[in-house]
A and B are shown apart, each in its own frame.
Chain A
């Protein structure tokens, strides 16, 4: 079955960087984009961007432009999210999700989430 398994929780200081991995299995890695969504404590869902594993093309939400980088490793079917210049407001659970659909994109499989805590 389709699985997305994320790396473990992180605690970072303000100004630091964090890398989260999302290892996929159970389907053809290059067929579908991977999206990143975050959720601050007690808050809603916020889309951060996506990466096309086939060629590596990325689209980022304007809010994160310049601070976020999404990459992929096709040899291990893994996608990475790098977020730098961390602030306390970046404390959240970060999810990767597979984007299905040719016309109407929908997220049919999600990782388990990675809690990132930013605190001095």
Chain B
């Protein structure tokens, strides 16, 4: 199985900060990488698919980059509604696997 490792596991940031979350795959997954946001008690929601494509309706302050084994999710200016947990997911091979999550908290 492909292991997905996110860093950091949690971070504290202030409103307006630029936030970067990293996801590393244990083997190459080309661009088969998605990002999700999850708030407490809610289902995850898709932010970015295919490493860098913004899902319809998602604010443009979210962006994704990377290919191969190393990927990044960036929030350009943190807003109150962005405090949540973020997961990466690889769909290159079965079983599809997720990172352990990055919790973004208010500083």
Contacts and interface: CB of A to CB of B under 8 A. Distances in A.
B24 interface: no
Nearest to A62: B95
Contacts of A110: 43-45
Nearest to A104: B50
A15 interface: no
Interface stretch (A24-32, A43-51, A73-81): A43-51
B93 to A, nearest CB: 11
Interface string B78-107: 000000000101010011111111000000
B46 interface: yes
Question: Which size bracket describes the interface of A in this complex?
Answer: 20 to 34
B43 to A, nearest CB: 4
Contacts, number: 60
Residue of B36, B94, B96 contacting most chain A CB atoms (<10 Å): B96
B49 A106 contact: yes
Given A104-B91, A106-B91, A47 B96 contact: yes
B100 A44 contact: yes
Contact of B94 (A59, A97, A103): A59
A44 B99 contact: yes
Residue of B43, B87, B97, B101 contacting most chain A CB atoms (<10 Å): B43
Interface string B11-50: 0000000000000000000011010100000011110011
Interface of B: 31-32, 34, 36, 43-46, 49-50, 55, 87, 89, 91, 94-101
Given A104-B32, A106-B91, A113-B43, 10 more contacts: A45-B87, A47-B95, A101-B49, A106-B46, A107-B34, A107-B46, A107-B89, A108-B55, A110-B45, A111-B43
Interface of A: 35, 44-47, 59, 61-63, 95, 97, 100-101, 103-108, 110-113
